Structure 1
């Protein structure tokens, strides 16, 4: 990647166009919403968390053409290549009754806006035929004066299929990009601005719905998109079993010879055998 590619004006224009479209779609529902596009940043999630801890807690969508320190689940790096991937974060002050299941609700909303055939791998991966298309990372920060917490919901999405570095090949699902998916009736599959305008509003509406009603109304929809259901899986702490959907609080159920074990979000990684 060279500097010219990283700051390609055409790529930035696409993101700005998407930002304008999503602002128009969301501002009636989120007064005070700001939408920003930057050419370079360490991490959109990290930046919104820094702002929240400094007392800046307005609803915000922050998109970047390039991330130098993007992160996935369990601290794994998420590389953002200009023109080949989309990375953005949604920041919202939120006060749900409980937080468990938020990533699943947001995942359902994201997958519902993507081409047919995309599924959800608990708790936050986007899958297409067993290959990783993207992921969702949710982090929160405490706000001053006992206000609601600030939720930062990050999305990383492959537009083109990335090449994994050799050291990652043994510990990662094979990736896929939107360009490889069937395009019938879909917007341009490699236009980051179009997908920003389509996905960010879906994420905001899902987060607000979850804040009001919790995960319960999303449970059946997640089940219909569950990539692990009925599959043999193994967790990072060595538990083997068969995935059996999720509970009403978003916990993964794994059937084992000793009975059903509930796996809470964030405790372990789960992979198909």
Structure 2
């Protein structure tokens, strides 16, 4: 009996599929973003040319681009983890603000006379990262509690939590973390708590490398580990995951 050859689509995780979906997403984002310039009578193409020229035509602009890219990469990683596990969380802005406030507090308390006192740089960096993760995790966990215990919609509650985070940070810089002076702002962080720069004449710091390492860790956890597999399966089909022996409640 002759065999029939069937043309099949490339797997969703193949290099070709990932490449064209990523390119399509970038083009769609640029297209939608370009529509925002039209009500102001601006040419979207001119705006994008100026955007890329300022960000990549000089080392100073490139360094500033890296500074802005680091937190956006970290927020994107959080989005990937949440959405791949079926959790429609949209409160990443709030997590960023709360985590930044926690990191600021740690940096101020490591100065001379602070709660932690002067710390070696590796220990200080580890402490800042851990405290930031815990603070952001607790903030996001509040939404999880509302969903798990009360059946609340995580999209609505997480968006509302963003506003609460803004008010919380405003309170902190106007009260407990306020510097002396008329403006509501935190004190300037000690120079020894800054991330080291790596491009002379720019503000590019090692935060971009932390973000890239975090991206590698997330990739390994989601696609190359058992817990990542269980999280993805639970997000795709909780009933099938439960039938397969996965503890859906813990995931």
- Identify the TM-score tier after normalising by the shorter chain: under 0.3
- Higher normalized contact order (CA 8 Å, seq sep 6+, divided by chain length): 2
Which structure has the larger Rg? 2
* Bigger strand share: 1
Give the alignment's TM-score, normalised by structure 1. 0.23
Give the alignment's TM-score, normalised by structure 2. 0.24
